[in-house]
Amino acid sequence: MGEMRYVLAMDSGGSKTVCLLARADGTVIAVGRGRGVGNLSLDPAVVAEALRPAVGKALGGLPAGGRVAAAYGCLGGLNVEAVREALESVVAADCTEVQRESSGEVVFACAPLWGFDIAVMAGTGSIALGINAAGESRVVGGWGALIHDCGSGYAVGRQSLQAIAEALDSRGEGSLLLTAFAEVPPFDHCLPRGPLLGMSPRDLDYGQRLAIKEGIKKAFPELDRGSVAALFPVVSACAEQGDPLAVHLLDQAARDLALLASMLADELAIAAPRVLASGGVFRAGRCMMDPFRSSLSELLPQARVQEDGFALVVGAVIVALVKAGLPVDAALAARVRQSAAGIL
């Protein structure tokens, strides 16, 4: 009956949830996506309702007679127990477990299989995890938005809004950012329309600057960690167009993330670390990867950067297979990676 055993893996943070269903041989056969449940609620019923679409879509690939031997979730949030109870309620699995991303369980299990020493992960939040040849593991970052999420999508989004506010108050330089933000929620229905947004604040009178300020503040009730982080792709698009402010913000994020890798390499005594750059921030492309490589080479001249060949949800499949008591080797890990790449 081994061929009828399956595992469900989940990665959820502040912005989105991704679920994968895989066979016992490591072949990923279905994916489901939905809203993030990290820190959504401490009420399992609320979390379960939010999880149901993503989990249901993935379980749609479960054949008649198939059994979920293990459901494993990797969470970018603090509401672990609520998410575990919610996952148990929507998946009939032999065993169900949820761990925080910052526990490092997924990264440390997958580092030797993927061939990296340090993983710098930047999406809504940011964290870096590393393990050396002696098996010593460390985590830096991952403090959360209230304290320290430097280099994250949320940090870049918040800093962009702060820079716009400062430019309006000081009658500073203009930027593409304000016009670009006016096209995305929640600013698309809050900011004034017309040519004002494309003008430099120094060319606006007080009343015009006040109208823009009030429009931005009108969006406050709809702004949360996820919606602020969702501004990151807008900033990266402006950076691709050469907007000086957007380029500066991404350069700063790259330096912050490179510093996380440097701190880990120092503590783990890895002189030439293989550094994996993973997450939505790095998927912005060269406007993020180029300054990250440059900053890292200044801090760690012998470091080698690997681009996004790893995703937490794919690593969670590996851990779920282990939790199900199934043997995992390099060949199975390669099958997980290859089949997931074709479905994600």
Write out pLDDT tens, residues 108-163.
999 999 999 999 999 989 999 999 999 999 999 988 888 889 999 999 999 999 99
Parts of the chain with a pLDDT under 70: 1-3, 308
97 - beta bridge partners? 72
Tell me the whole-structure pTM to 2 decimals.
Answer: 0.88
The predicted structure's pLDDT at residue 1: 41
The predicted structure's pLDDT at residue 120: 96
The predicted structure's pLDDT at residue 3: 52
Run of H or E including 267 = helix 244-267
Taking the CA atoms of the chain, what radius of gyration do you get in angstroms? 22
* Short-list 34, 13, 253, 266, CA closest to 136: 266
How many whole angstroms from its chain centre is CA 337?
A: 18
* Short-list 115, 112, 141, 117, CA closest to 130: 117
5, 27 contact by CB (below 8 A): no
The predicted structure's pLDDT at residue 308: 61
Backbone angles phi, psi at 15, to 5 degrees: -110, -40
The predicted structure's pLDDT at residue 146: 86
